[in-house]
């Protein structure tokens, strides 16, 4: 079980570095509105991944259930629909990048689902241990 926990922590670090590099390059390319909006679900997804990987109770499980759905829907829209528009206009390499980006995010979706729905060991017996105060 310790190896799985270690792998989640490694994934968190790698995904964080990917996001940092991606946003640095995006900011140099004068991003549009959707690139700025994408920062919010990306950071929420990373925060949930952090909580899951490091077994930290942040906010409440219900928050992470909602975040899971929002992040999943946003990524399907942002990387799927808007990505498809890029594929239509750019074609070729964009399909590969779209598939690769989505595959890289699948473990993050899984972590958010597990964090919100299946992590009683993190949250305790129904009463979450708060690390961050309620909003």
Which pLDDT score, from 0 to 100, does residue 135 have? 47
Residue 77 CA neighbour count, 13 Å, CB half: 11
Extract the residue ranges of the chain whose pLDDT is less than 70. Answer: 1, 31, 79-97, 125-135
Which pLDDT score, from 0 to 100, does residue 77 have? 76
Which pLDDT score, from 0 to 100, does residue 81 have? 58
Which pLDDT score, from 0 to 100, does residue 48 have? 93
Closest-CA residue to 52 (of 95, 7, 88): 7
Which pLDDT score, from 0 to 100, does residue 64 have? 92
Say how many C-beta atoms besides its own lie within 10 A of residue 112's C-beta: 25
Buried b (16+ CB within 10 A) or exposed e, 45-62: bbbbbbbbbeeebbbbbe
Which pLDDT score, from 0 to 100, does residue 119 have? 82
């Amino acid at each position: 079980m310790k190896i799985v926990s270690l792998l989640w922590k490694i994934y968190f670090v790698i995904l964080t570095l990917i996001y940092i590099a991606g946003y640095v390059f995006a900011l140099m390319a004068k991003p549009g509105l959707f690139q700025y909006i994408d920062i919010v679900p990306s950071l929420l997804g990373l925060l949930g991944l952090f909580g899951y990987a490091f077994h930290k109770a942040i906010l409440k499980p219900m928050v992470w259930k909602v975040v899971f759905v929002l992040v999943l829907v946003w990524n399907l829209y942002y990387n799927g629909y808007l990505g498809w528009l890029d594929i239509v206009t750019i074609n070729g390499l964009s399909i590969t990048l779209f598939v690769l980006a989505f595959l890289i995010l699948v473990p993050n979706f899984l972590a958010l689902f597990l964090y919100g729905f299946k992590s009683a060991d993190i949250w305790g017996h129904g009463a979450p241990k708060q690390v961050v105060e309620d909003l």
